[in-house]
Amino acid sequence: MAEWNQEYIVLSGARENNLNDVSLRIPKRKITIFTGVSGSGKSSIVFDTIAAESTRLLNENFSMFVRNFLPRVPQPDTDSIENLSMAVIVDQKRLGGGSHSTMGTITDISPILRLLFSRVGQPHVGAAHMFSFNDPQGMCPECSGLGRKLGVNMNKAIDMSKSLSEGAIMLPDYSVNGWEWNMLMQSGDYDPDKKLSDYSEEELDHLLYSKARKVKMDFAGKPTNVTVEGVIEKFTNKYIKQDVKTKSERTQKTVAPFISEGPCSSCHGARLSQATLSCKINGLNIADLSSMEVGELLNVIQNIDEPIAAPIVKSLTERLQHLVDIGLDYLTLDRETDTLSGGESQRVKMVKHLSGSLVDVTYIFDEPSVGLHPRDVHRLNELLQKLRDKGNTVIVVEHDPDVIKVADHIVDVGPYAGSRGGNIVYEGSYQGLLESNTLTGNHMKLPLQLKQESRRPSGHLSIKDASLHNLKNVSVDIPAGILTVVTGVAGSGKSTLINDIFLSEHPDAIVIDQSAVGVSTRSNPATYTGIMDDVRKAFASANKVNQGLFSFNSKGACENCQGLGVVYTDLAFLDSVKLPCDVCGGKRFKEEVLEYKLNGKSIADVLAMTVEQALEFFELKEVVRKLQAMSDVGLNYVTLGQPLSTLSGGECQRIKLASELHKKGSIYVMDEPTTGLHMSDIGHLLAIMNRLVDAGNTVIVIEHNLEVISQADWIIDLGPDGGSKGGQIVYEGPPAQILHAESSITGRYLR
């Protein structure tokens, strides 16, 4: 009996958040996928119970001393969990790390590449650390290994179409008749009436970069010695070489527009010293290889046939192949990790684990399909299978039907969200799920419908000749007043086109992304949406007292817990525990405040209501409007007082959407709004987008979800592939015609 049980992780009586005494078995060394509507309780099982317990057990292995440095994890509310192995959580948190952390360093590929150069690079320059831009011996001395330097923004500083007397120099102090301008004139070196574009190269170089020299000048009849210097040279010495932060705030403000960051002029962004860059393999230095797309780099590495390099080549090949397999072939090793998207970050982390040698680990993934085009989902599936076949247990929270298909075991949580969820409604095979009468099972069976009648645009927002990152001189008209979906495989250029190019010209657009809305434990949906203000006023006027009383951040706060509702207690030799405050019982308010009622409910009762319950309770027009907006975006199950720090990325995005819904005549930009949404919720999301459009707004959505794509008025498909193989428009038009567009990968998947 005991042995048979070891084949499963056995969970009994789980009660975190909305869980209803959940008990279940998860087969070990298999792929188990958790499905169910948002808010049904998937994360409460997988993250708040299983992952939390594993982390806690792991921490217990450390000495008290070490444990003091680890995050404190309280015991999850559950009767027992058996046979848990070490859990590794591969989430979508972005890889921070600043400019010294790159794709190459985070995947451990860079150290191996350095080893390769130290073994077979010519001429031989020394040891492997010479090839590291984080090492004083290897880094470019000019930029300290950053690859970038501050410099003068020439477009802002100089107007080549003008002469000096027309104000060609736009830097401070050089205005016509200004002090510096007069010195240039008096030096007699420059023709004041010749346009700079007509200067010879030599003349221009002298004007901009000549070294300081003493010149005799006549000031008010007195001969005086002054120093004249090239315009850019002078500005650089005065404001860039010296830390501009030591200047007055006013000066900083005046010069800031003229300073910009660009590639270092010594290493041209390669970050390495000249000696290191002179060392090559087959004519290429380490910076050349690091700036190649991974797919291309793999070819180059495989062509190195020095026998002494064979083991290194093999290990590089294996790691690069993993990156290609997961669909990241368009990234380069020198790409800074803090510029990767959430989905890309998660896939990079996945690769790190594939190359590792751990077995019998429980890997936990949170919607790994985020950011992946349907074309690339099979690659993700293969990686999940590889992890399993190495002897690991794989647990995935996922909504994408194409990922759900590869599960060995499915756990469907529901039936609905919040208090109406928290149960297991189905456990078993994929086939069984299709036959089950659950929300997930039923939605998996629905066929895709293409929108037949598109709305007419009210105008166009044009993008002209965009060429940032991989974009190939893209010009495109984004229709105004209708629903446009921008799609294409990962790395094709969607975010570059919309977030970097379009939004820089339309800063007034309302952007609804997945970044956190606030990490404070003191903000919640009621404060974020502004409902709290109306509610406090209502309580104050009903009871004829001050509104401040009804805030747990001010006068009304329970004095014992300062309005947090919990108290952290440090127990010697034990983890610090978070206990509900024993004065207010977790209600956060002073007892006297709770005596004041509105239609029989206290302020704490109101904050404990779900959006759905609050909609039944309130009649105030403003409150109802805001609640309805939250309900419309599928957040019925959230309570008004739930700390925002506990919301997922998808939930954050929807709460932003809810609070921006009433604005009219605007441009809305949404980045993968289906993240975290169950198939049955996508209909609601589409309804909201359509309402926004019907109210006269322009809605632009970056999406891979086929249901959303098929319901667009207009599709802009980027591609054909990712990275240098992408960056072009492969289709623009209504959904019906994309089926016939040969080069559109999206079209192929809609068929």
The residues of the shown chain that bind ligand ADP, judged by CB under 6 A, are 17-18, 36, 38-44, 330-331, 335, 339, 413, 417-418, 469-470, 488, 490-496, 637-638, 642, 646, 723
**C-beta of 180 vs 366, nearer to ligand ADP:** 366
CA torsion angle for 701, 702, 708, 714 (degrees, to 10)?
A: 60
**C-beta of 586 vs 734, nearer to ligand ADP:** 586
**C-beta of 121 vs 565, nearer to ligand ADP:** 565
Stretch that binds Zn ion, among 35-43, 157-165, 365-373, 550-558 (CB under 5 A): 550-558
**C-beta of 230 vs 342, nearer to ligand ADP:** 342
Stretch that binds Zn ion, among 72-80, 581-589, 612-620, 712-720 (CB under 5 A): 581-589
**C-beta of 287 vs 526, nearer to Zn ion:** 287
215 contact, one of Zn ion, ligand ADP, none, CB 5-8 Å limit per kind: none
Measured from the CB of residue 556, what is the shortest distance to Zn ion in angstroms? 11
* Chain centroid, CA 395 distance in Å: 23
429 contact, one of ligand ADP, Zn ion, none, CB 5-8 Å limit per kind: none
**C-beta of 347 vs 451, nearer to ligand ADP:** 347
Kindly calculate the radius of gyration of the chain based on its CA atoms and give it in whole angstroms. Answer: 31
Window 234 to 263, contacts with Zn ion (CB under 5 A): none
CA torsion angle for 197, 198, 200, 201 (degrees, to 10)?
A: 10
Q: Which amino acid is at 740?
A: H
Window 89 to 148, contacts with Zn ion (CB under 5 A): 140, 142-143
Burial of 751 (0-12, 13-18, 19+ CB in 10 A): exposed
Q: Which amino acid is at 732?
A: E
**C-beta of 338 vs 622, nearer to ligand ADP:** 338
Measured from the CB of residue 272, what is the shortest distance to Zn ion in angstroms? 8
Phi-psi group of 721: left, alpha or beta (phi > 0 → left; psi -120 to 50 → alpha; rest → beta): beta
Report how far apart, in Å, the C-alpha atoms of 218 and of each of 222, 243, 326, 700, 720 are: 5, 33, 71, 63, 66
Measured from the CB of residue 342, what is the shortest distance to ligand ADP in angstroms? 11
Q: Which amino acid is at 309?
A: A
Tell me if 186 contacts Zn ion by CB under 5 A. Answer: no
Window 582 to 621, contacts with Zn ion (CB under 5 A): 583-584
603 contact, one of Zn ion, ligand ADP, none, CB 5-8 Å limit per kind: none
Stretch that binds Zn ion, among 201-209, 218-226, 415-423, 551-559 (CB under 5 A): 551-559
As given in the structure block, the two tokens for residue 521 are 């434990």
**C-beta of 89 vs 309, nearer to ligand ADP:** 89
**C-beta of 494 vs 656, nearer to ligand ADP:** 494
Residue closest to 302 by CA, chosen among 287, 324, 331: 324
Measured from the CB of residue 43, what is the shortest distance to ligand ADP in angstroms? 3
**C-beta of 105 vs 276, nearer to Zn ion:** 276
Tell me if 264 contacts Zn ion by CB under 5 A. Answer: yes
Pairwise CA distance, residues 380 & 382, whole Å: 5
Report how far apart, in Å, the C-alpha atoms of 76 and of each of 14, 42, 210, 226 are: 8, 15, 70, 75
142 contact, one of ligand ADP, Zn ion, none, CB 5-8 Å limit per kind: Zn ion
Measured from the CB of residue 594, what is the shortest distance to Zn ion in angstroms? 11
Question: How many CB atoms are closer than 10 A to CB 731?
Answer: 21
Measured from the CB of residue 142, what is the shortest distance to Zn ion in angstroms? 4
Q: What are phi and psi of 342, to 5 degrees?
A: -60, -45
**C-beta of 208 vs 326, nearer to ligand ADP:** 326
Measured from the CB of residue 37, what is the shortest distance to ligand ADP in angstroms? 7
Pairwise CA distance, residues 406 & 11, whole Å: 23
164 contact, one of ligand ADP, Zn ion, none, CB 5-8 Å limit per kind: none
**C-beta of 52 vs 312, nearer to ligand ADP:** 52
Q: Which residues, 6+ apart, have CB-to-CB distance to 474 below 8 Å?
A: 463, 465, 466, 467, 493, 497, 727, 728, 729
Measured from the CB of residue 490, what is the shortest distance to ligand ADP in angstroms? 4
Measured from the CB of residue 326, what is the shortest distance to ligand ADP in angstroms? 14
581 contact, one of Zn ion, ligand ADP, none, CB 5-8 Å limit per kind: Zn ion
Measured from the CB of residue 36, what is the shortest distance to ligand ADP in angstroms? 5
The answer to whether the beta carbons of residues 54 and 86 sit under 8 Å apart is: yes
Measured from the CB of residue 314, what is the shortest distance to ligand ADP in angstroms? 26
Please calculate the CA angle 130-135-141 and round it to the nearest 5 degrees: 90
Q: Which helix (H) or strand (E) holds 557?
A: none
Pairwise CA distance, residues 452 & 493, whole Å: 27
Measured from the CB of residue 19, what is the shortest distance to ligand ADP in angstroms? 8
723 contact, one of Zn ion, ligand ADP, none, CB 5-8 Å limit per kind: ligand ADP
18 contact, one of ligand ADP, Zn ion, none, CB 5-8 Å limit per kind: ligand ADP
The answer to whether the beta carbons of residues 324 and 294 sit under 8 Å apart is: yes
**C-beta of 125 vs 490, nearer to ligand ADP:** 490
Measured from the CB of residue 264, what is the shortest distance to Zn ion in angstroms? 3
Measured from the CB of residue 598, what is the shortest distance to Zn ion in angstroms? 21
Give one DSSP letter per residue of 483-515, joined into a string. EEEEE-STTSSHHIIIIIIIHHH-TTSEEE-SS
**C-beta of 89 vs 413, nearer to ligand ADP:** 413
449 contact, one of Zn ion, ligand ADP, none, CB 5-8 Å limit per kind: none
Q: Which residues, 6+ apart, have CB-to-CB distance to 233 below 8 Å?
A: 208, 209, 210, 211, 212
Residue closest to 417 by CA, chosen among 256, 648, 260, 227: 648
Report how far apart, in Å, the C-alpha atoms of 57 and of each of 12, 85, 88, 291, 469 are: 17, 9, 13, 42, 45
Pairwise CA distance, residues 36 & 396, whole Å: 12
560 contact, one of ligand ADP, Zn ion, none, CB 5-8 Å limit per kind: Zn ion
487 contact, one of Zn ion, ligand ADP, none, CB 5-8 Å limit per kind: none
Window 559 to 578, contacts with Zn ion (CB under 5 A): 560-561
DSSP label at residue 211: P
The answer to whether the beta carbons of residues 626 and 633 sit under 8 Å apart is: no
Binding site for Zn ion (CB under 5 A): 140, 142-143, 264, 266-267, 558, 560-561, 581, 583-584
